[in-house]
Amino acid sequence: MRTKLYMIALAAISMMLGSCSDSNSEFSQDFLADTPIKLNVSVDEPRTRAGYSNTEQPEGFGLIVQHSDSQNDKYNYSVWAEGNGTDWKTYDLASYLNDGTKKDVTMLWANMNDKVAIAALSNVNFNKIPTDQTSAEEVKKADLLTMPVTQVVPSTNGINVDFKHTMSKIKLTIELGDEYEFAENVDKMITDVKIDGSKVEALFQIKPENTKFGFEFVNISGNSTPVSPFCTGTTPYSKTTGTITKASATYEAILIPQTIESGKFIVSFKVDGKLYEWAYNQELTLAPNTAYTLKLIAGDDKVQPVSFSVAAWKAGNGENGEKKETD
C-alpha cells in the first residue's frame, strides 16, 4: 500500500517537473552530454539532537530527476540513492520499492543546456512517526526530510540535494521547583515524560504551488497518541556563592504538522513518582520546519508554564519571534 502511494506521488512529481521545465537545445561542443551526474547532499541546520544534519545524513533517499526537452526519457530518473554523505550510488526506485532489489542506475546529463527539475524525500515509505522517540534511531525515523521541486542548471559540480526538516519539533524543558532542592539524579527523578494531543499517522501529497516545502500532509488519522520524547540533557541542582541552579531536564520530540484543539495539547511527567500534567488552553497549529519551545516548572503539587515560543527550525528567534500565551 505504501509503495503504491509513493508511486502515485512520483507520478505527480513527474507531471510537475514537466510543467516547470525549460529548454534551450541549441548548443555546440557539449562537454556535459552523457556524463555522470554527481550528488551533493546537505541538510538544513540545526538538527534535533538525535535527528539528521550535515554530519548525520540519511543513509538513503528517493530522488526524481527530469531533464527538460530531451529527445526521449532515457535521461529521466526515479532512483533510490544510498551513500555515506560524499559518495552516493543510485538504484532503480521501482525495483527497490517492490522487493528491495538494488538495480544499478547511472544518471547522466542529457546536455549542458537543458535545465533539470528534481525532488527528493528521505523516507519513501513514510506513513507514521514512532511514538517512542526516546532513542536516537527512533528520532531519525520521525525526522522526515524533503526537497521540493527545484530546477537546476547542468554543471560539472553536479546536483545539490538540499533537504529541509518537514516536521514540527517540540523542545521541552522541565525545571524542578524549591520542593526538589538538592536534586542530583535528575534523569531518575523525572520519568514517564509524554507529549500528548497529536495524531501520529498521515499520508502526504505533492503540491507544486507550495514552493517552500513542495508537499502537504493529508489524511492525518487515528486518535491522538502520546509521544515519549528524547532526553537531550540534565542539569543537577547546584548552589554557589549567590547563585542557585535548579535541577532540570530537556527533551525533544518530532510531531506531524497539524492543528490541535484547545486543551488537547498536554505534557505529563512524574517527579519521584508524583504525576504532573499541563495542558495548553489554546488551539495549537504545528507548522512544518518549525520548533516550539516550552518551559515548565514542577513543584508544590502543580506545574507552571514559564514560556512557550515559536521559531523556525533553524537557529535564531525564528518566525517573527512569536511568543505564545502560557496560561
Do 191 and 70 share a domain, yes or no? Answer: no
**pLDDT tens, residue by residue, 158-205:** 999 998 888 999 999 999 988 887 667 887 889 999 999 999 998 776
CA pair distance 164, 120, nearest whole angstrom = 10
CA pair distance 109, 157, nearest whole angstrom = 12
Report DSSP state, residue 179. Answer: G
Percent of the chain residues topping a pLDDT of 90 = 43
Residue 245 within a domain: yes
Q: Is the pLDDT of residue 257 over 80?
A: yes
Rg of the chain over Cα atoms, rounded to whole angstroms, equals 23
Do 47 and 70 share a domain, yes or no? Answer: yes
What is the reported pLDDT for 211? Answer: 44
Q: Is the pLDDT of residue 271 over 60?
A: yes
**Greater pLDDT, 211 or 310:** 310
Q: Is the pLDDT of residue 123 over 80?
A: yes
∠ CA 57-38-60, nearest 5°, is 30
Do 20 and 41 share a domain, yes or no? Answer: yes
Do 150 and 199 share a domain, yes or no? Answer: no
What is the reported pLDDT for 319? Answer: 38
Do 180 and 54 share a domain, yes or no? Answer: no
What integer is the mean pLDDT of 240-258? 89
Do 208 and 184 share a domain, yes or no? Answer: yes
Q: Take residue 158 and report the three cell numbers written for it.
A: 553536479
Q: Take residue 162 and report the three cell numbers written for it.
A: 538540499
Residue 135 within a domain: no
CA pair distance 214, 223, nearest whole angstrom = 27
Residues present in the chain in total: 327
Do 84 and 153 share a domain, yes or no? Answer: yes
Structural domain of residue 58, as residue ranges?
A: 2-128+145-165
**pLDDT tens, residue by residue, 305-319:** 999 998 877 643 333
Residue 211 within a domain: yes
Do 173 and 160 share a domain, yes or no? Answer: no
CA distances from 162 to 79, 90, 145, 293 (A): 16, 17, 9, 25
**pLDDT tens, residue by residue, 283-309:** 999 998 899 999 999 988 899 999 999
Do 19 and 63 share a domain, yes or no? Answer: yes
Is pTM beyond 0.75 here?
Answer: yes
What is the reported pLDDT for 256? Answer: 94
Residue 173 within a domain: yes
Total domain count, the chain: 2
CA pair distance 128, 90, nearest whole angstrom = 26
What integer is the mean pLDDT of 26-50? 77
